[in-house]
Amino acid sequence: MVNHHNTPKTTPRKKTQCGSTLVQIIEAPLEVVWSILRRFENPQAYKRFVRTCTIRAGDGVGKGSVRDVTIVSGLPAAFSSERLDELDDDSHVIVVSFIGGDHRLQNYRSTTTAMAHVSSSETEKTVVVESYEVDVPDGNTEEDTTSFADAIIRSNLRSLAKLTEKMVRG
């Protein structure tokens, strides 16, 4: 399942594209993790860099819904417009594309998949895999671009883990 959903689908363009895949193991059941991850209309629940979110088009759960997010100060952006390309509750997959904003992440598209982690421990765990592809901005290298995007995604995944693990502990 991971390879099917999380394989970047870079297409030939004038600009160079890059991408990466990050993995986070969370000590919480899949149902708890997915209940937060699937909420396209509420990314600020676990994405600390998002200040507010407003659904501009659609209902926030259907394909083609668009959200406008404001970014916390201190980052090199103030807002982003993002489209929900896929939300599959059966496969636990969400695909989001950036379609506007004042950031440098042009043609950004991420696929996030959540799966139950089978282990011998009694603690239910979830594996979250997030992959993305994005254009390399003029004046940047692939390494600069992936380092920046990876840092944000890594922070988001850690925040998701912290939130859902706290929810389970009560």
**Residues 134-147: tens digit of each pLDDT:** 999 988 899 999 99
Q: What is the pLDDT of residue 148?
A: 92
Q: What pTM does this model have?
A: 0.86
For residues 85 and 128, give the distance between their C-alpha atoms in angstroms, rounded to a whole number: 18
All residues at 6 or more sequence positions from 94 whose CB lies less than 8 Å from its CB, including other chains: 37, 38, 40, 84, 86, 87, 88, 111, 112
**Residues 46-88: tens digit of each pLDDT:** 999 999 999 999 998 899 999 999 998 767 788 999 999 999 9
**Type of residue numbered 123:** T
Q: Element (H or E) spanning 167, and its range?
A: helix 142-169
**Residues 17-40: tens digit of each pLDDT:** 999 999 999 999 999 999 999 999
* Section 106-122 average pLDDT: 89
Selection from 33, 12, 1 nearest residue 126 by Cα:
33
* Section 101-123 average pLDDT: 88
